[in-house]
Amino acid sequence: MRVLVTGGAGYIGSVVTEELLNDGHQVVVYDDLSKGHRAAVIADAEFVEGDLHNAKLLGDTLQHKEIEAVIHMAAYSLVGESCVNPAKYYNNNVVAGLTLLDAMIESDVKRLVFSSTAATYGEPDQQPISESAVTNPTNPYGETKLALERAMSWYDAAHGLRYASLRYFNAAGATEKCGEDHDPESHLIPIALQVAAGTRPHVEIFGDDYPTSDGTCVRDYIHVVDLARAHILALDALNASSRIYNLGCGGDGYSVQQVIDTVREVTGKEIPTSIGPRRAGDPSTLIASSAKIKEELGWQPKHQDLRVIVESAWRWKCEHPNGYGNQ
Ligand SMILES: NC(=O)c1ccc[n+]([C@@H]2O[C@H](COP(=O)([O-])OP(=O)(O)OC[C@H]3O[C@@H](n4cnc5c(N)ncnc54)[C@H](O)[C@@H]3O)[C@@H](O)[C@H]2O)c1
């Protein structure tokens, strides 16, 4: 298949591109490099530097490159920033997203895998979170992802757009070629690895008085390769009908303290921490259930163990101490 990966110069998109190419697909990466890196685009993929708001370039790309399906990863995804600047998130995640949907319909490309988020659920009482949980986002980031998902279902009804939306929490880990290089970095594992590498003084833990086994928040971490495989499986299943799947790490999740301990073990470094107050809107536990995608599509994560995830991220960091900046 000829697949367009929006956001393919970003963290997850680069690994999705790598896995698609490994499977023999042809890939065109479409990215404006606002957050991603040219060096993260796998050499065998074609690259189009462009903004999703550019309907003409999108349409030309879909038609001239004879694209058959789209994996849509391009978005802004900083929860805190979305709360102080919601317009930025509506503009990029919804308005630009609709530009993509329109360009697809005009170009008769009707298969779409969407990288959504489990932030669409907000803070449900039931954990792990299943797809039947009520969606009630608590920040503009989750709200904008949900808005585009809803638009997709209307585009399906009106135009036959077949989509799969994947909702998950924290991507983590690396391949040999691709790793996580965000600025600013907001994810716990790369932050702890920055401390291990000596480029950050300590990890701040936001609250240690939660009702969890060690008092710190429990979260889901999924290896980025397992995530990429889920996107490709969902793409293959699109002939039948549109669908929504959650992706989770399968167990009880990992506490912030467990992650830091694992980073200590893997790197052999001390990893100083400081305990700060709880952050507003941080629930004690957030984990998603993968039961549906396992049952319907046979998704089987292969790199679920936290140690394996951290080892892969540390290996990449040691080989790319400045991220993509030194390439
Ligand atoms: N990283 C996670 O833990 C996580 C968890 C759940 C969902 N997601 C979703 O997965 C997707 C990828 O996340 P990531 O961590 O790889 O993010 P990322 O920031 O590394 O990658 C996003 C890419 O999209 C590009 N982009 C953004 N706006 C664009 C636009 N208007 N036009 C063209 N390109 C644009 C950026 O340059 C970047 O390369 C996002 O949609 C995010 O919401 C990520």
- Rounded to the nearest angstrom, the distance between the alpha carbon of 291 and the centre of ligand 1 is 25
Instruction: Write out the H or E segment, with its range, that includes residue 15.
Output: helix 11-22
Nearest CA to 146 out of 157, 135, 156 is that of: 135
Residue 129 contacts residue 289 (beta carbons within 8 Å):
yes
Residue nearest to atom 12 of ligand 1 (CA): 73
- Among candidates 63, 68, 2, 76, which has minimal Cα distance to 36? 76
Whose Cα sits closest to atom 20 in ligand 1? 10
Compute the average pLDDT of residues 133-157. Answer: 97
pLDDT higher than threshold 80 for residue 301: yes
145 falls in which pLDDT band (50, 70, 90)?
very high
The CA 76 to ligand 1 mean position distance, Å, reads: 6
What average pLDDT does this structure show over 271-287? 92
Residue 73: CB within 6 Å of ligand 1?
yes
Give mean pLDDT, residues 161-173: 97
Q: Which residue's C-alpha comes closest to atom 21 of ligand 1?
A: 10
pLDDT at residue 193 above 90?
A: yes
Q: What local confidence, expressed as pLDDT, does residue 327 receive?
A: 46
200 sits in the region (left: phi over 0; alpha: psi -120 to 50; else beta) called beta
Q: Is any atom of ligand 1 closer than 6 Å to the C-beta of 93? A: no
Sorted by sequence, the CB contacts under 8 Å of residue 32 that are 6+ apart come out as: 49, 50, 51, 52, 74
pLDDT digit string (tens) for 46-77? 999 999 999 999 999 999 999 999 999 999 99
Ligand 1 neighbour 115 (Cβ under 6 A): yes
To the question of pTM greater than 0.85 for the whole model, the response is: yes
Nearest CA to ligand 1 atom 15: 11
Mean pLDDT to the nearest integer, 164-176: 97
Helix (H) or strand (E) holding 144: helix 140-159
| Whether the CB of 288 sits within 6 Å of ligand 1 | no
**Closest by Cα among 309, 164, 318 to 224:** 309
3-class secondary structure, 313: helix
| Residue 165 predicted with pLDDT over 50 | yes
- Residue from 4, 5, 11, 52 whose mutation best tests the ligand 1 pocket (most atoms within 8 A of CB): 11
* Model pLDDT for residues 203-226, shown as the tens digit of each residue: 999 999 999 999 999 999 999 999
pLDDT at residue 4 above 90?
A: yes
pLDDT, residue 125, reads 85
CB 186 less than 6 A from any atom of ligand 1: no
Residue 267 has pLDDT above 70, yes or no: yes
- The residue assigned the tokens 């799969």 is 164
Nearest CA to ligand 1 atom 11: 73
Question: Among the atoms of ligand 1, which is closest to the Cα of residue 145?
Answer: 43
Mean pLDDT (the chain, rounded): 96
Assess whether the C-beta atom of 22 lies below 6 angstroms from ligand 1.
no
The count of C-alpha atoms lying within 13 angstroms of the C-alpha of 222, restricted to the half-sphere facing its C-beta, is 30
CA dist list (Å): 27 to 24, 73, 104, 126, 135? 9, 14, 16, 39, 33
Sheet with 162-168: strands ordered across: 46-49, 26-31, 2-6, 69-72, 111-115, 162-168, 243-247
Virtual torsion, Cα 25, 29, 30, 35, nearest 10 deg: 140
What is the mean predicted confidence (pLDDT) over 237-241?
88
Residue among 4, 12, 101 whose CB has most ligand 1 atoms within 8 A, to mutate: 12
- Residue 100 pLDDT more than 90? yes
User: What's residue 240's pLDDT?
Assistant: 81
Cα–Cα distance for residue pair 241/249, rounded to 1 Å:
25
Higher pLDDT, 16 or 326: 16
DSSP designation for 277: P
Using alpha carbons, select from 215, 322, 210, 196 the residue that is nearest to residue 268.
Answer: 196
Does residue 33 have its Cβ closer than 6 Å to ligand 1?
yes
Q: What percentage of the chain reaches a pLDDT higher than 90?
A: 94
How far apart, in whole angstroms, are the C-alpha atoms of residue 86 and residue 88?
5
Ligand 1 mean position to 75 CA, how many Å? 4
Task: Give me the phi and psi of 34, to 5 degrees please.
Answer: -65, -30
Q: What does the block give as tokens for 266?
A: 């893997």
* Confidence category of residue 5, pLDDT binned at 50, 70, 90: very high
Which residues are bridge partners to 14 per DSSP?
A: none
Q: Could you tell me whether strands 254-255 and 218-219 are parallel, antiparallel, or unpaired per DSSP bridges?
A: antiparallel
Ligand 1 site, residue 114, Cβ cutoff 6 A: no
Distance CA 120, CA 79 (A): 12
Positions marked catalytic = 141
CB of residue 142 inside a 6 A radius of ligand 1: no
- Residue 240, burial from CB neighbour count under 10 angstroms (0-12, 13-18, 19+): exposed
Pocket test for ligand 1, best of 4, 16, 34 (most atoms within 8 A of CB): 34
Mean pLDDT of 118-145: 94
Q: Residue 324 gets which letter from DSSP?
A: G
Ligand 1 atom closest to Cα of residue 96 = 31
Q: Is 146 in the pocket of ligand 1 (CB under 6 A)?
A: no
- CA-CA-CA-CA torsion sign (250, 255, 256, 258): negative
Tokens of residue 247, six digits: 């992706």
